[in-house]
Structure 1
Amino acid sequence: MNSEYEKTQLAAESVNAIEGIMGAFPGYRRAHAKGVSYKAVFTPNGQASSLTTAPHLQTAQIPAIVRFSNVAPDPTLSDALSPAKGLAVQFQLPNGEITNIVATTVPFFISKTPESFVSFLKALRSGKNGRPNLRALVKWLTKYPESCSVFRIWKELKPPLSFAQGRYHSIHAFYFVNQEGHRQAVKYILEPEAGEAAMSNLEAAGKPEDYFEQELENRLASDMVHFRLKVQLGKETDPTDDPTKEWPKERRVLMIGRLSIQKERAAGEELLFDPTVLPEGIKCSEDQILQFRRFAYEESYRRRSRNS
């Protein structure tokens, strides 16, 4: 898959497949459909300035918009039935441009390539009565064994106690580039200052349908919610092209700033949080899924913009 035309066609195919699994919901994102957005302020601490020239990672405060979400593509699905959560951040840069971080509570992705992701969605669609075709999924895993670890994580996954107490991972690798042109591979981590906490799936099942949104609203009514933005620094032996794999936990982690979320709501449902929109000083890695996201996000955005 090389040309933009091929990527655009595959993006449409992937969105069609998602709609085929859970339905199409006009006006909503095709994934992370149910969400809530707030205004925020990001305060960098200067620790990344030797690694990148990116303007929002120097020393000046930057306004931002954050969106918390359920990962599921169905906006009517109860919070308890979507244990994985998302956090997207749009930084509003001094020159009028933007850049985004997209992160989830699951530290890696289901597929290494767009083609394998689309074939996974088709395997899910091949079932009946809302149940996946197990034979098709086994056949898919046999062809793409790198995805087995993701299935194990999903089986054990528990929802966080709050949007404010989840640990969010960017999944993909990026390159920081400094003034000398040196490249450092990084992965983002958003760590909650309130501390990580999870609930059992049984506890989650007993929560109200909009529990996460209401809990966050109540929390913000009394104080801001804070996250530490960190980067895990990769070594040359760490894969930058495979989002199905985590880097070794002993890799150095550097705190580069603090994200402070305010109680004022923001119009985040209208925004496109494309993680490939990057300023000077940050580059996309060789990760095919990361590069494919631009085309898939644009396809989803086109459909919800025309309320289809």
Structure 2
Amino acid sequence: MLKKLSSIWKSYKYRFVPWIAFNLNNRSVRRVEKAGEDKIIPGHSLLEQLRALTSALHIVHTQGSSAPQLSLAYQLALEVMEETYGFHVYRAPSCVGGTGVVVTTYRGCSVAVKQGQLVALYPGALYLPVQPIFIQSINNPFIFRCIDGVLVDGNDKRISKSLFKSCVNRDRVGYFPIADTTWLTDHPTNPLNIGQYVNNQSTGHPSNVAYQELTLEPGDIPLQERQYLPNMWYSPSQGMPVADVPLRTVALVATRDILKGEELFSNYFTVIY
């Protein structure tokens, strides 16, 4: 029992504000001087990389005569990511315990990911600082805090799962869903949408990716391709069509070249000066 509680605490403490306040010298802190200064690569480059994959996924999926089973769609998505980026990522048992994210490639080369490459997205419902998230946050190690206080609930279980699906169904625009809900399953139609499972760096496992926030303006990603993005506002601006509201997403970007078979590690929490 104590071992299980210790394991839960090790994961949860990076979202527990009092613990963060007493551990500001911890090397795993994501330090950001001010909003907009967390960029590993220029925002337009990150958008281009993201757009390349969402476009490729949409082309392949619309070419099919009928919707494939989720597991088959996932395998197809991995192949599309491999063709677009030269590698793909997937969830696997972590070398530090629990679940992690591993990068690989079908190619024979040892280097799978180049520095500056988008490798994952942090999925989940988006909450403004004034919006209620207390119930969802209980025993939830998947809440990410953005620089401006926006919270991303990346939990794919329990109430968080139900709320996300409800928000997507609420704001559906025509034929196309406004966000991806398959990240809540084991077979996401966009393989990038597993960033919440990237583990925190630790002794012997330094970070090889970093978080970079990106605000997508209307039109940055075509409406029909929003179904491959894993984020959705919990409560968008009143009176404004959801398609016209800027969308926050959090990317994980490689800070160095990453070898085939390597697990991804990053920094969990943010301190802003």
Q: Is the structural similarity TM-score above 0.5?
A: no
Rg: which structure is higher?
A: 1
**Which of structures 1 and 2 has the larger relative contact order (alpha carbons within 8 angstroms, sep 6+)?**
2
TM-score by length of 1: 0.26
